[in-house]
Structure 1
Amino acid sequence: MKGVVFTEFMDMVEEVFSDDVLDEIIEKADLPNDGAYTTVGTYDHQEIVRLVVALSETSNMPLPDLLATFGKHLLGQFVKGYPQFFDEAKDAFDFLSNIDSYIHVEVLKLYPDAELPKFYHEQHSDKHLSMYYQSSRHFEDLAVGLIEGTLAHFNTEGTVSKSEAQWQGEDAIKFDIHLN
C-alpha cells in the first residue's frame, strides 16, 4: 500500500484526535518501522490495519466509522493534491463512474506499483448509481467515506448503502448511492 495512505491517516489522527493519540496507537500497533512512512514508499497493508485497530481500541470508535471518517479526510486531500480529477467531472456520479477508467489509470502513471481496487458501476437513473468494489484488502468502509466525501465535494446530498454482491461471477461489495 502506498505510503501516502499512511501519512494521511496519521495526519487525520492528529487533526481529529491528537498528537498523543497518534503516539499511543503507533506504540500499540507495534509497527516494524516505528511509524516512519514516506508518501512514495510502499508498505504492507496490514500495518494500516494495525493502526486503525489500535485507534478503534483507543478511541472506542467502531472500525467502520473510523474508516469512513478517514475516507472523507482522504478525499479532501485528493481534491487538494489532484484538483484536475475533480474539475473535469460534471457531477458526483460522473466522477464516481470514472474511477477505474480514468482516475486509476492516472494514479498508475504516478505510482506504477500501486495495487488499486477495482470499481465497476451501473447507473440506474440520474439519482441512483450502483458501484461494485473488488479488493483483496477489504477496505469497503474506507470506500464508503470516499464516496460520501465525493458527494459532499460536489454539494450533492444522498445516501450510501453497502451489501455483499457479485460482479461478473466474482465476489464484490455493492454500494448503492441514492441522491435526495
Structure 2
Amino acid sequence: MVFVELLAMAEDAFGEAAVDSVIDSADLPSGGAYTAVGNYSCDELMALVRGFSQHSGIPAPELQRLFGHWMMNSFVRHYPDFFVGRNGSLDMLAAIEDEIHVEVRKLYPDADLPHFDIHRPDAHQMHMTYRSPRPLADFCHGLIEGCVSQFGETAVISREDRKIDDATEADFQILIKNKA
C-alpha cells in the first residue's frame, strides 16, 4: 500500500510523466509495478523518494514528511473504523502498536512493521519511540503531524534520531496545545 500511495501522491503533485520518468531512471527490480498487497524492498522506496526529491527540488526528508501526511489521509479514507471513538491524536497514536498493527498483521502476515513504544505521562503528552530497520523516521514524523491535524489539534512535536546498528530509532515528544 505504501508504494501505491507514494506513486499516487507523486502523480498528484508532479504529474504522470514525472512519475514515469522517475520510475524509468530508478532502474527498480520491480519495474515500478506495485500492488497494495505486495511486499517490496525498502531500497526501492528510498530510490523513488530520492528520484522524486531530485525531480521536485524538495529535500528527501521533507518529501517523506509530506508523504506521511498523505498516508494519514489515505488511512482515514481506507480504514475509517480505526479512527472511530478516539478522543484525539494521542489516543490514535497509542493504538498503533497493540490494536492497529495487530489488525494489519491479520491482513498481511508477512508485513514487516515498525515497532512503537508509547509512554503517556498525562492526557496532553506522549513520548513515542519509533524503531524500524527502515530509515523512515521522517515519514513517521509526517504521519504524527497528519494525525494531529486529522483530529483538529495543534501540537509541539520534537524528535531525536538515533542510528543503532542497521536500525533507525526516533524519540518523539508530542505535546497537544489545543483541540479544535
Corresponding position of 2:117: 120
Task: Name which of structure 1's ranges 124-133 and 93-102 shifts more when overlaid on structure 2.
Answer: 124-133
Amino acid at match of 2:57: N
Match of residue 96, structure 2, among 96, 99, 102: 99
Question: Is residue 68 from structure 1 mapped to residue 42 from structure 2 by the alignment?
Answer: no
Displacement, 1:33?
Answer: 2.6
Q: Following the alignment from structure 1 to structure 2, what is the Cα–Cα distance between the partners of residues 40 and 164? A: 30
TM-score scaled by structure 2? 0.91
Corresponding position of 1:109: 106
- Structure 2: give runs of 5+ residues left out of the alignment: none
Q: Following the alignment from structure 1 to structure 2, what is the Cα–Cα distance between the partners of residues 130 and 160? A: 10
Q: Following the alignment from structure 1 to structure 2, what is the Cα–Cα distance between the partners of residues 91 and 107? A: 21
Amino acid at match of 2:10: V
TM-score scaled by structure 1? 0.91
Corresponding position of 2:30: 33
Confirm or deny: 8 A CA contact 2:132 2:168 kept in the other structure.
Answer: no
Q: What pairs with 1:26-175 in structure 2 (closer than 5 Å)? A: 26-164=23-161, 172-175=169-172
Amino acid at match of 2:60: L
Q: What is the aligned residue count? A: 174
- Structure 1: give runs of 5+ residues left out of the alignment: none
Displacement, 1:165?
Answer: 5.8
Post-superposition Cα deviations, 1:75-122, rounded to whole Å, max 9, x if no partner, equal: 111111111111132211111111101010011011111000000111
Corresponding position of 2:14: 17
Amino acid at match of 1:96: L
